[in-house]
Amino acid sequence: MNIEIGIDSFAASADAGNASKSANALAELLERMEFSDKVGLDVFGIGEHYRKEFLDSAPAMILAAAASRTEKIILTSAVTVLSAADPVRVFQNFATLDLISKGRAEMVVGRGSFTESFQLFGLNLQDYDALFSEKLDLLLKIRKDEVIDWSGNFRPELKQQSIYPRPLQSLLPIWLGVGGTPESFIRAGRLGLPLMVAVIVGETHRFRPLVDLYRQAGEQAGHPPEQLKVGLHSLGYVGTNTSDALDDYYPGYAETFTRIGRERGWPPVSRGRFEAQVGPTGALVIGSPEEVAEKILRHSNALGGISRFTFQMDNAGLSHTQLLQSIELIGKQVSPIVNK
């Protein structure tokens, strides 16, 4: 079984408050998406955040812009923060993207790792899981049926309501993005949705029991094994050699995660802690093409087999040139080694 290899981006910007710099950052992102298609990557995802350092609050618009400049690459969200969105509009946006891209749209839906969207859209953080469960139910019903009847607690009911447009694909692919909550893995299995696991810190193999829960729940619900796909999203970067890759990635990584850590009570990032995460079982996937390919395969084996691996690398202050070079190495060297 081939492993799809791709990139996830949060459209990071050093100065998102500067309109001119933001325009340039988005232009460079679209160039990287186009280049990813040219070098043979399988998928490119755009996240969704509501913070000053990211430009991805409207991911479907970025993906649609890329659709007109690409031919084969799958275009997906990474993730759609469904708790803070109207499932009707989410479906319409991605159905439209599917039409523009001629059947290359997907979405990964989740609750997100930041909570700014709750205050922004007037939502109660105490409804964190209830919002997501209800909205996921509605989204899946819209995907299945053109005309629906539905009622819930957080949105006006729908009576014999038609939802348009419909996507080009007969069933728009929807993955469930998860962190480390067992209930999320079980929910994905029961629904028969492909699973996208975000492993940002720690050791990837520790997620195996949760992936097993997912597969067991899916089997008990009667879903065929080939439907229960597992993807892995990790921070990563590929250089011509490991030493240079580590030196390129560390400064921006340390700045970003030390800053976020101040919000969440984490200790500052040190070079020693960083390199421990780069080790054989650590979550960070950084190094030469050969070492990175070997680690992806090792992680796949540790999780009982994965269908997709995506790199998140533009959070580390890397230049546009560095990112393009890494994308080329991933497309021309890493992916062929992984799937030879």
Omega of the bond leading into 167 within 30 degrees of 0 (cis): no
Using the Cα atoms of residue 124, residue 46, residue 315 and residue 136 in order, give the sign of their dihedral.
positive
With H, G, I as helix, E, B as strand and everything else as coil, classify residue 198.
Answer: strand
Using the Cα atoms of residue 116, residue 117, residue 122 and residue 124 in order, give the sign of their dihedral.
negative
d(CA 183, CA 204): 19
Q: What pLDDT, on the 0 to 100 scale, is given for residue 16?
A: 64
d(CA 56, CA 70): 19
Q: What pLDDT, on the 0 to 100 scale, is given for residue 300?
A: 98
Query: Nearest 5 degrees, angle CA 218-CA 220-CA 224?
Result: 50
**In the Cβ-directed half-sphere of 161, how many Cα atoms lie within 13 Å?**
13
Strands 174-178 and 158-162, bridge-based pairing: unpaired
CB contact at 8 A, 177 and 110? yes
Structure tokens of 14?
């050093």
Structure tokens of 256?
């970003």
In tens digits, the chain (340 residues) has pLDDT values of: 799 999 999 998 867 678 999 999 999 999 999 999 999 999 999 999 998 889 999 999 999 999 999 999 999 999 999 999 999 999 999 999 999 999 999 999 998 778 888 888 888 988 988 999 999 999 999 999 999 999 999 999 999 999 999 999 999 999 999 988 999 999 999 999 999 999 999 999 999 999 999 999 999 999 999 999 999 999 999 999 999 999 999 999 999 889 888 888 888 899 999 999 999 999 999 999 999 999 999 999 999 999 999 999 988 789 999 999 999 999 999 999 999 8
Q: What pLDDT, on the 0 to 100 scale, is given for residue 15?
A: 74
Q: Please identify which residue in the block is written with the tokens 């990813």.
A: 36
Domain residue limits at 133: 4-338
Please tell me the total count of domains within the chain. 1
With H, G, I as helix, E, B as strand and everything else as coil, classify residue 202.
Answer: coil
Q: Please identify which residue in the block is written with the tokens 């993730």.
A: 79
Dihedral-angle region of residue 305 (phi above 0 means left; psi in -120 to 50 means alpha; beta otherwise): left
Instruction: Assign residue 119 the CATH number of its domain.
Output: 3.20.20.30
Cα 189 to chain centroid, rounded: 18
Closest CA to 237 of 302, 318, 301: 318
Residues 6+ apart with CB under 8 A from 148: 141, 142, 158, 160, 161, 163
End-to-end CA distance of the chain: 10
Dihedrals phi, psi of 315, to nearest 5 degrees: -95, 0
pTM score, whole prediction: 0.96
Q: What pLDDT, on the 0 to 100 scale, is given for residue 62?
A: 98
